């Protein structure tokens, strides 16, 4: 599957294009299956997207909020009201301002003292919500990319990169001296749609390496994202995409 790459002149246009994609995929999913399963990305890049979905009157009205189930592709091992929490960021920028049923917000219980238990519990949550033993096929997984080429919490040279069975694992990240809980590559690659949002000049080199460099996923884990039967779309701003050719 050759990824689509779209390059935007600024982060605001990137966020709006991303919001339009989310709304389109959401309504297709609800029309086809009665619900929309969406895994959110953490970090800072998605904030503009989340704020737009909640705050732009046309986008807000177009989103099937009451039919949407929210998940997180990764979470820091912190309490949910911690400044570093991906749940807190999404809640403050979007979820607290939209009519999503509380029971549709499936956060990682990252306050659990043992990250491995939090990961096991989250995998059980996926089994419950998706109903059954088959690997969940998310309608959409949003991802960011770090300056080291990581995505979700799949960091270079960490054990989670090698996981082939589990859908969610705890991952010790030496460079952060911290535990993370993350979707694994098999789960991400089972999605119907995967959408990367990448902005900023500091992402230009890693983005070129990920998209056009040699295949070395241990060093650039974003290269692991290759949906087996899904669509892969990169939305990047010109600063991040300065060394990348757009691809329809
Ligand atoms: C996280 C994210 C992570 C993020 C990248 C990019 O928990 O931090 O899930 O994978 O997407 O680090 O982060 P920025 O958008 O802040 O550059």
Pocket test for ligand 1, best of 41, 80, 108, 188 (most atoms within 8 A of CB): 41
Atom of ligand 1 nearest to the CA of 76: 7
How high does pLDDT run on average in the chain?
97
Q: Could you tell me the pLDDT band of residue 1, with boundaries at 50, 70 and 90?
A: low
Query: Measured between alpha carbons, how far is 31 from 95 in angstroms, rounded to an integer?
Result: 22
CA-nearest residue for atom 2, ligand 1, is 42
Residue 65 Cα to ligand 1 middle (Å): 24
CA distance 224 to 230: 14
- pLDDT confidence band for 3 (50 / 70 / 90): confident
Domain 4-237 fold = Rossmann fold (3.40.50)
Q: Is the CB of 41 under 6 A from ligand 1?
A: yes
pTM score, two decimals?
0.98
Comparing 141-150, 200-209, 238-247, the range with the smallest average pLDDT is 238-247
- 142-164 pLDDT, tens digit per residue, is 999 999 999 999 999 999 999 99
Integer Cα distance of 78 and 162 in angstroms: 24
Residue 111's Cβ-side half-sphere holds a number of Cα atoms within 13 Å equal to 7
Q: Where are the domains of the chain?
A: 4-237
Q: What is the DSSP letter of 223?
A: G
Token code pair at residue 16: 């709006």
Task: Specify the ligand 1 atom closest to the Cα of 200.
Answer: 17
Ligand 1 site-directed mutation target among 42, 44, 84, 195, most atoms within 8 Å of CB: 42
Measured in Å, residue 155 CA sits from the centre of ligand 1 at 11
Tokens of 30: 């609800």
The pLDDT of residue 127: 97
**What is the total residue count of the chain?**
248
**Distance from Cα 2 to the centre of ligand 1, integer Å:** 23
Q: φ, ψ for residue 67 (rounded to 5)?
A: -110, 5
Classify strands 140-143 and 36-40 as parallel, antiparallel or unpaired: parallel
């Amino acid at each position: 599957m050759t990824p689509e790459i779209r390059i935007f002149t600024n982060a605001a246009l990137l966020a709006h294009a991303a919001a339009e994609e989310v709304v389109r995929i959401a309504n297709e999913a609800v029309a086809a299956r009665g619900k929309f399963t969406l895994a959110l990305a953490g970090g800072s890049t998605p904030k503009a997207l989340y704020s737009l979905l909640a705050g732009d009157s046309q986008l807000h009205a177009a989103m099937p909020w009451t039919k949407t189930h929210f998940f997180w592709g990764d979470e820091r091992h912190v309490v949910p009201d911690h400044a570093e929490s991906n749940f807190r960021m999404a809640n403050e920028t979007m979820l607290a301002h939209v009519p999503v049923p509380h029971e549709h917000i499936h956060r990682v219980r990252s306050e659990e003292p043992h990250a491995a238990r939090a990961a096991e519990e989250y995998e059980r949550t996926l089994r419950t919500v998706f109903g059954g033993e088959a690997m969940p096929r998310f309608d959409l997984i949003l991802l960011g990319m770090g300056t080291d080429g990581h995505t979700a919490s799949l960091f270079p040279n960490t054990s989670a990169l090698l996981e082939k069975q589990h859908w969610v694992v705890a991952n010790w990240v030496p460079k952060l001296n911290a535990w993370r809980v993350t979707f694994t590559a098999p789960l991400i690659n089972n999605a119907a749609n995967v959408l990367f949002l990448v902005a900023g000049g500091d992402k230009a080199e890693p983005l070129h390496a990920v998209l056009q460099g040699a295949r070395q996923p241990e060093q650039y884990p974003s290269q692991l994202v290759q949906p087996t039967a899904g669509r892969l779309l990169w939305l990047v701003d010109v600063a991040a995409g300065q060394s990348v050719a757009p691809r329809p």
